[in-house]
Amino acid sequence: MATIRPRVKAPRKASAGEVVEIKTLINHSMESGQRKDKDGNPIPRQIIHRFEAQFNGQEFFAVDLQPAISANPYLSFFAKLEESGEFTFRWHDDDGSVYEETKSVEVT
């Protein structure tokens, strides 16, 4: 598999109390475990099964993903910001890998 690189689009500035949209994308085949290879052997499942979004260390949004989520999983959601700080996003792979991305935001 190609190098897995998470991508996040989040605003850099926001006003206090504003609800901002965050869009995330990560390249991953999300192998469902339903498919078979050329010789008819089942291809084992390997997906991203958990996504977590934290702000200043506090988890505010999470998703448990199933094989029915498309390859290169896209997620968009919202956050209500009261103070400046840093977002941390984590993707958990079936193989134990964790992919992480951070974004800081200035709240005025």
Partner 1 sequence: MLEMQDSGGTSRRRVLFSLGGAAAVATGLSVVPGLGARLAHATEAEVAETIKEMLGEVPAEGGVSVDLPEIAENGNTVPMTFEVDAPMTADSHVKDVMVLADGNPAPRVATFHFTPMSGKATASTRMRLVGTQNVVVVARMNDGTAMMGKKQVKVTIGGCGG
What does the binding site for partner 1 look like in residue numbers (CB under 8 A)? 19-20, 32, 34-36, 43, 55, 58-71, 73-80
- Answer yes or no: are the C-beta atoms of 55 and 68 closer than 8 Å: no
3-state secondary structure of 29: coil
Least distance between partner 1 and beta carbon 1 (Å) = 17
CA nearest 52: which of 32, 27, 33, 79? 79
Closer to partner 1 by CB, 12 or 36: give it.
36
Closer to partner 1 by CB, 74 or 104: give it.
74
3-state secondary structure of 78: strand
Least distance between partner 1 and beta carbon 10 (Å) = 13
Rg (CA), the chain: 16
- Answer yes or no: are the C-beta atoms of 50 and 65 closer than 8 Å: yes
Least distance between partner 1 and beta carbon 25 (Å) = 10
Closer to partner 1 by CB, 21 or 106: give it.
21
